[in-house]
Amino acid sequence: MTARIIEGAPVAERLRADVATEVARLKAEHGLQPGLAVVLVGDDPASQLYVKSKGEQSRAAGMRSETHLLPGDTTQAALEAVVRKLAADPGIHGILVQLPLPEPLDETPVIELIGPDKDVDGLHVVNAGRLVAGLPALVACTPTGCLELIKATLGDLTGKTAVVVGRSLLVGKPVAQLLLAENCTVTMAHSRTVDLPAVCRTADILVAAVGRPRMIRGDWIKPGACVIDVGINRVPFDDPEQAALGRTKVVGDVNFKEAREVAGSITPVPKGVGPMTVAVLLANTVKAAKLQAGLPA
C-alpha cells in the first residue's frame, strides 16, 4: 500500500477564494476592508520570505496589508510600542507577530498587547481558554489548517482515535482541542511518552508536531492511518557532496519514505500543512474584522 498524498495547496486555494469572495462582499455591503498587520523582528531569510508571502496573499484577497520589519536589536519597549499602535488602529483587524522573537525579547506581554480580538494567531490566553471551553474563538492557524486537511481527507471524524505528538501552545494543544470538538478520542503524547511508538500505532489520525526531524518511523504508524506532519526541520542533504557544500533541505517530523508505505494518507513536507497556515490566517482576519464590526462571524 502506498499512501495518498494530501496536498495542502488545493485546499488552501479554495479557502483563499472563499476569503476573497467574503472580502468583496464586506466592502460592497458594509464598507469594511479587513486589515492584517504582520510584525517581523530580525532578518531571518526564511521568516522574511514567509512574511512576504502573507502580505502578497492578503493583498490578492483584497485586504489591507501592512508589514512592519524591525531590526534584530529592537528593544522590548520599541516592539511593544509598534504593537500598541496597531492594536489601537481601527483599520487593522488582525495582528501577527512572527515567532519566535530574537532573544532577549519576551513574546508574552506582546501577545497580551495584541488583545484577543485582533489575535489572529490564536495565542492569547482568552482565545486559548475559549477553545478549551468549546466557545467561539480565534484559533491558531496551523492547527485549524491541519483539521481542514484531515476533514477534507476523511470526512466525518466522529469516533476516530487521534494521537497528537507534541504539546506546544502553537500546535499540539490547540489541534488536540479541535479534534476533541470533532468527537475524536484524543491522546496527547510527546518526546518523553513511555513507549511512544506503541501509542502512535493506536492512531487513526496521527498529528506529528514534535520538532524532531524524521522522528516518527514507518513502523510507528497504524496501517491506513491519516498522518499530518507539521514539522519543518532543516537537515543536510543525504548526498555527501551536497552536504559537504553546506546545503540543506526541509523535512518533517515523520520519516516520509517509510510512512507512505504504511499510512492511508499523509501530508508531504513541504507543500502539505504549510500552504494552509497562511490561508487560515486570512480567514481569521476576516472573522476578526466581522466580530469587531458587530457582524455575524
78 and 51, same structural domain? yes
Tell me, what's the pLDDT at 4? Answer: 97
Quote the pLDDT of residue 239.
72
Give the CATH number, domain containing residue 203: 3.40.50.720
Tell whether 7 is covered by a domain: no
Residues 180, 182, 183, 186, CA torsion sign: negative
Residue 212 counted as domain residue: yes
- Answer yes or no: do 147 and 129 share one domain: no
Please tell me whether residues 145 and 272 are part of one structural domain: yes
Give the chain's count of helices (H) and strands (E).
11, 11
CA angle 242, 247, 249 (to 5 degrees): 105
pLDDT at 71: 96
Any catalytic annotation for residue 54?
A: yes
The total domain count for the chain is 2
Residues of the chain falling short of pLDDT 70: 1, 242
Helix 76-88 crosses helix 107-114 at what angle (to 10 degrees)? 10
Whole-number pLDDT of residue 218: 97
242 is catalytic: no
Could you tell me if 253 and 210 lie in one domain?
Answer: yes
Look at residue 129 in the predicted model and tell me its pLDDT: 96
- Asked if 190 and 237 sit in the same domain, the reply is yes
Q: Does some domain include residue 13?
A: no
Range(s) of the domain holding residue 233? 141-276
Are residue 150 and residue 176 in the same domain, yes or no?
yes
Would residue 103 count as lying in a domain? yes
Which of 106, 136, 166 is a domain's end point?
A: 136
128 and 190 assigned to the same domain = no
Partners of 69 in the beta sheet?
40
Residues 127 and 224 in one domain: no
Count of residues making up the chain: 297
Confidence at residue 278, expressed as pLDDT on a 0 to 100 scale = 94
Catalytic member of 57, 118, 119, 121? 121
Active-site residue, 98 included = yes
Burial of 135 (0-12, 13-18, 19+ CB in 10 A): exposed
Query: Which one is catalytic: 57, 98, 118, 290?
Result: 98
CATH number for the domain harbouring residue 86: 3.40.50.10860
- Report if residue 110 sits inside a domain: yes
Q: Is residue 39 part of a domain?
A: yes
